[in-house]
Amino acid sequence: MQHGNKNRTFGRVRSQRTALMRGLAVSLIRDGKIKTTEAKAKELRPLIERLVTYGKKNTLSARRIVASRLGEPNTSIVKKVFDVIAPKFTERAGGYTRIIKMGRTPAGRDEAVIEFVE
């Protein structure tokens, strides 16, 4: 039963879902903007917002938490969170990303762009 479970499953098991979210998060951090489905963008937003909030703390434990959440062996992505993205949002208390709906594709899915707010 799925009582009280509001997370989207995307028809995947937990390990695949985690890998999907990590991949989307790394792509968003690397590129600044990605195009995906609306559901995936909405599920990605809280993860990214938490990572940026950790980036604003800029402590060793925060760096380790971000690295573990991203599961990224490449340290350049973690460095970018702390050195490039988080300093832009020091005065901002949340709401670091925006989702722009692109409409429905011929395949029947709702496309969206998720990007960092300038």
In-domain check, residue 16: no
Global pTM?
Answer: 0.93
Q: What pLDDT, in 10s, does the model give residues 98-112?
A: 999 999 999 999 999
Give the range of the structural domain holding residue 96, as residue numbers without chain letter.
Answer: 33-116
In-domain check, residue 10: no
In-domain check, residue 78: yes
Residue with token string 């060793």: 60
The residue count for the chain: 118
Q: What pLDDT, in 10s, does the model give residues 38-94?
A: 999 999 999 999 999 999 999 999 999 999 999 978 899 999 999 999 999 999 999
pLDDT at 74: 86
| Pairing between β-strand 33-37 and β-strand 97-104 as defined by DSSP bridges | unpaired
Number of domains in the chain: 1
Alpha-carbon gap, residue 47 to 43, rounded angstroms: 8
CATH, residue 112: 3.90.1030.10
Arithmetic mean of pLDDT, 114-118? 96
- Distance from the Cα of residue 6 to its chain's centroid: 18
Q: Is the pLDDT of residue 2 over 80?
A: no
pLDDT at 5: 87
